[in-house]
A = this chain, B = another copy of it.
Amino acid sequence: MAQPKKAASIWDVARLAGVSHQTVSRVVNGSPRVAAATRDKVLDAIAELGYRPNRLARSLAGGAVESVTVLTADTSLYGPEAALRGIEKAARSLDWSVQISVLDPADTHSDADIVARLPRAGEPTIIMAHDEPGMRAKQVLLDTQPQAMVAIGPYTAEELAASPWLVGMDDGKAAAEATKYLLDLGHRTVHHLAIPTSTGTFGGGKAHRAEGWARVLREAGREVPDPVPSGWTISEAFKAVQPLVADPSVTAILCGNDNLALGTMRAAHLAGRSVPGDLSIVGFDNTPFSAYTTPALTTVNQDFESVGRGAFELLRHRVDGSNPRPKPSWPEPELIVRETSGPPRSRS
Contacts and interface: CB of A to CB of B under 8 A. Distances in A.
Given A4-B145, A265-B294, A102 B85 contact: yes
Given A97-B119, A100-B98, A144-B2, A76 B294 contact: no
A57 B55 contact: no
B84 A292 contact: no
Interface in A116-170: 116-117, 119-122, 143-147
Contacts of A248: none
Interface string A261-276: 0110110010000000
A2 B145 contact: yes
A269 B291 CA distance: 13
Contacts of A294: 265-266, 269, 293-294
A78 to B, nearest CB: 9
Contacts of A37: none
Interface string A89-126: 10010000111111010000000100111011110000
Given A4-B147, A76-B85, A55 B102 contact: no
Nearest to A56: B56
A81 B75 contact: yes
A92 B102 contact: yes
A88 interface: yes
Nearest to A103: B92
A234 interface: yes
B97 A98 contact: no
Interface in A262-316: 262-263, 265-266, 269, 288-289, 291-294, 296
A11 to B, nearest CB: 14
Given A57-B60, A269-B294, A122 B7 contact: yes
B262 A292 contact: yes
Contacts of A104: 89, 92
A165 to B, nearest CB: 13
B7 A121 contact: yes
6 contacts: A2-B144, A2-B145, A56-B59, A99-B99, A234-B291, A293-B294
Given A60-B60, A233-B288, A234-B289, 15 more contacts: A1-B143, A6-B122, A54-B119, A54-B120, A75-B81, A76-B82, A76-B85, A76-B288, A92-B101, A97-B101, A98-B99, A98-B101, A262-B293, A265-B292, A289-B289
